[in-house]
Structure formats: structure tokens, C-alpha cells
Structure 1
Amino acid sequence: MGTDSGRRVGRPRAAQRPDSGLAPRAELLVAAAELFTTRGYAATTTRAVAERAGMRQATMYHYVSGKEELLADLLESTVAPSLTRARELLADTARPAEERLWELCRTDVELLCGGPHNLGGLYLLPEVRAERFAGFHAVRAELKDAYRRLIAATKAGDALDADELAVRTDLVFGLIEGVILVRRSGPAGSAPRFARATADAALRVVRD
């Protein structure tokens, strides 16, 4: 995730900000999340983000380097909580692997379906392939590997060879991230219910 170090040049210009209680950088992320998911990343200017956050464009650069940094932070925010949970579940070897895998699936889907904006949809942007987003791809790869390790630890996974394990991991991970596209059409029911149903489906993929 980005930091403020090395970016403070001069004194930020005063601006009237919404009374949200958020820090300026957090306010910029909220504004960027809304605009990137409604107007589109390419169509959103830094001026628009700054204005939506209640500050001048020059002030914005006191907190972030530009749109790419905001996008990188937003992308990582969709994966980091699930990765934290995945690490906890991998360490909790007293619980059955299937139970832990189901919990990770549920947690991940709730994260992708939660919040006011479909931030997971930003994964599909062509810009995300750039080197600037290597941090996001590294975190996402570690999360996918956690899925692989949990699948391998299940009774069904124990019988899979390396190639078949890779296929099952791709299928399960694809199913989880597929909720990004489903959400665009508005999934029926609440996010928790949808998450449980998706986790159930993921376990069927592992077992079948």
C-alpha cells in the first residue's frame, strides 16, 4: 500500500471538505472508489477525484501521487483482508481443511460483495496489467496459493496429483472471483447468503 512519504511538497492549499470524519487520504480513496466504478477509471480525472473529495487538485498531490496510486490501494484493499483470514485459517490445523476452505470462500465472497462499490470489477481493467500494480498481483497470488494449500489438505484434495490440484484451484478461485461479474447484475439475496451459497459450490468443485 502507498504511503505519504516523499510526497509532501509545499503547504497544502486550504479547501472546504465534506464533514465525513475521514482523513484526507481516506477521503480520496472513497471518492476514487465511487468514480472509478461509476464513471470508469480512464474517464475519471484527478481533478474529478479531488473535487469529489472536497479538495483542490493541487492539494490532492500532497497525499497521493495520482490515479494509479489510488487504484493500486483500492485493488489491494479487496484482497488484503481475505489474505489475513487465509493465513489464520492455514495456521488453524485443528479444524478440518474443508471447514477452513469453506470459511475462506465465504469470507472472500462477502468482501467482494460488500461495500457500496464493486471494487472487484477493477480487476478487469487493462491498466492493472502494468508493473505499477505488482504489489496487488503478489498479494492476490499469495491468496490463491492459500486456496491451493487448503484444497490439498482436504480429503478430496489429498488424492489429486499436482496438475489436477492446479486445475481445481483455478476453478475454485475463478468461482470466487466470478462474483465480481455476478454483482454487476445484482445478485439475488443478501451478501452473506450469496457468500454461503458460493462457498457450498466451491466445495462441490473440490469433491467432484
Structure 2
Amino acid sequence: MSSAPSVGRPRSGARRLPAGTAREEILDAAAELFSERGYAATSTRMIAEMVGVRQASLYYHFSTKEQILAELLESTVRPSLTYAEQLAQQALSPADALQALVRYDVGILLGARWNVGILYALPEIATEPFTRFRAEREQLRSAYRRLVAAVAGTPTADVTGDLVFGMVESVIGMRRDLPALPPPDQLGQSVADAALRLAGSPR
């Protein structure tokens, strides 16, 4: 019995991610184009051409451009949300847990190959394909609120928690606007220290 025909055409040129899957290469190419050219100015044809495959190959993995963007955006918050859940199971002080989450979150935002976070402000994000991303980002915001409240010793600290959350995400703009940044671990510690001061920690 002959094998099923492959989708699209063989990959042309050198691979973007030699150790990556076709799906990962599509995501990587889309992240570069979305962050450098803009979401609206990028077509699925451009993404496929950058990877070196036909659009049919791209559609085998992603049915729409919105699905690609949604997965990219979710990848910027889901690791930190999972980490926040893990921290909640550990016997850490609120201050230590807040510091750890800030450092980790900053590392995720700065360590990505492309600065996908700059796409958070797109008007398309308010639409249905991005419901899960919005929900997960709000869950992460809530984790910051809870930790800040615990550090401050108050029942709630929504405004201060939101300020800390915004300060963490401000590294997205720093990455876009500044020609050079401190190493992620160093910047992460600086943001973590500032978060503790904002939360009212005596440290």
C-alpha cells in the first residue's frame, strides 16, 4: 500500500529551527512577521513563504491566521500562569513568591525569540478567537493581585496588583524601544525589587 501524499511541497532552503517541528517553524516565522511588520500587514502566504512551504502545509497545522496569533499570545502567559500555580503549592513567604513570579515572568517576556507581547494591544484581541488568551492573562493578573495583597497584609490589593502586573509587562515596551537591555535575570530582579517596594514590603 502506498503512503498518503504529503501536504504541500518539500521545504525549500535552510530550516529556521533545525531542531523544531514544522508547526514550531510556522509559529516562529509568524512571530517574526507579526512583531516586525505588523499583524494586519502579514498574510498566511508570507508566513508560508518564510518557512519555505506552500499555504496548504500551513493550513494543515493552523486553519486561520487568528489561530496562529492566539497560540503565540498564549505562549507568553501560560508558562507564567502555570508557574504561579506551582508557587501556590510551595511553602514560600508571599514576598518570596512574588519575587519568584516576577523574575520568571520577566524572563518569559524577554527570553522569547520575538517580542510577541507588543501585539497585546491589537484591537483583534477583543474578538472571540482570543477568548482563551484573555482569560489566561486575567488569571495571571489575579495571581499578582493575590500575592501583592498577601505581601501588603490586606484582604485585597487590586490596584497595586495591577500596577505590579503592568510593571512586569512594561519590559515588552522596553524591549521594543531601547537599543540594549540588562540581562533578563538582572532586569527581572530589578523589577521584582520594585514590585516588593510597591507592595509595601519592608525589604
Q: State whether TM-score is above 0.5.
A: yes
Structure 2 partner of 1:190: 183
Deviation beyond 6 Å, 4+ runs, structure 1: none
Counterpart in 2 of 1:36? 34
Q: How does 1:139-150 map to 2 (within 5 A)?
A: 139-150=136-147
Q: Does 1:151 align with 2:144?
A: no
Residue in structure 1 matching 2:165, options 169, 173, 176 = 173
Note if contact 1:90-1:146 (Cα within 8 Å) is conserved in structure 2.
Answer: no
Q: Is the 8 A contact 2:149 2:161 kept in 1?
A: no
Is the Cα contact below 8 Å between 2:44 and 2:55 reproduced in 1?
A: yes
| TM-fit CA distance, 1:43 | 0.4
Deviations 1:43-63 (A, max 9, x none): 001000001111011221111
- Equivalent AA in structure 2 for residue 151 of structure 1: V
* Larger mean Cα displacement after TM superposition, 141-150 or 27-36: 141-150
Displacement of 1:41 in angstroms is 0.6
Find the counterpart in structure 2 of residue 73 from structure 1.
Answer: 71
Gaps of 5+ in 2: none
Q: Hey, what does 1:108 align to over in structure 2?
A: 105
Deviation at 1:117, TM superposition (A): 1.1
Contact 2:175 2:181 in 1 (8 A): no
Report the alpha carbon displacement of residue 26 of structure 1 after superposing the two structures with TM.
1.1
2:35 maps to amino acid? T
| Counterpart-to-counterpart distance in 1, 2:7 and 2:27 | 18
Q: TM-score, normalised by structure 1?
A: 0.87
CA RMSD of aligned residues (A): 1.6
> How far apart are 1:11 and its partner, in Å?
5.3
Give the TM-score, by structure 2 length.
0.89
Write the distance in 2 (CA, Å) between the matches of 1:180 and 1:16: 33
Unaligned runs of 5+ in 1: 1-9
Contact (CA 8 Å) 2:8, 2:55: kept in 1 or not? no
**1:4 — aligned with what?**
none
How far did residue 161 of structure 1 move? 5.1
Residue 13 of structure 1 corresponds to which residue in structure 2?
8
| Inter-partner Cα distance in structure 2 for 1:188 and 1:11 | 44
Following the alignment from structure 2 to structure 1, what is the Cα–Cα distance between the partners of residues 136 and 50?
A: 29
Percent identity over the alignment? 45
